[in-house]
Chains A and B, each alone.
Chain A
Amino acid sequence: KAGVTQTPRYLIKTRGQQVTLSCSPISGHRSVSWYQQTPGQGLQFLFEYFSETQRNKGNFPGRFSGRQFSNSRSEMNVSTLELGDSALYLCASTLAPGAVNEQFFGPGTRLTVL
Chain B
Amino acid sequence: DAKTTQPNSMESNEEEPVHLPCNHSTISGTDYIHWYRQLPSQGPEYVIHGLTSNVNNRMASLAIAEDRKSSTLILHRATLRDAAVYYCIPAYSGAGSYQLTFGKGTKLSVIP
Instruction: Give residues in A with beta carbon < 8 Å to B.
Output: 4, 31, 33, 35, 42-45, 48, 50, 55-56, 58, 90, 92, 94, 97-108
Contacts and interface: CB of A to CB of B under 8 A. Distances in A.
Q: Mostly helix, strand, loop or mixed at chain B's interface? A: loop
B93 A55 contact: no
Interface stretch (B3-11, B12-20, B44-52, B70-78): B44-52
B45 A105 contact: yes
Interface in B44-94: 44-46, 49, 87, 91-94
A90 B44 contact: yes
Contact of B101 (A45, A97, A101): A45
A33 B46 CA distance: 14
24 contacts: A33-B98, A35-B100, A43-B44, A43-B87, A43-B100, A44-B102, A45-B101, A48-B97, A48-B99, A50-B97, A55-B96, A56-B96, A90-B44, A92-B44, A97-B95, A97-B97, A99-B31, A99-B32, A101-B98, A102-B34, A102-B49, A103-B36, A105-B45, A107-B43
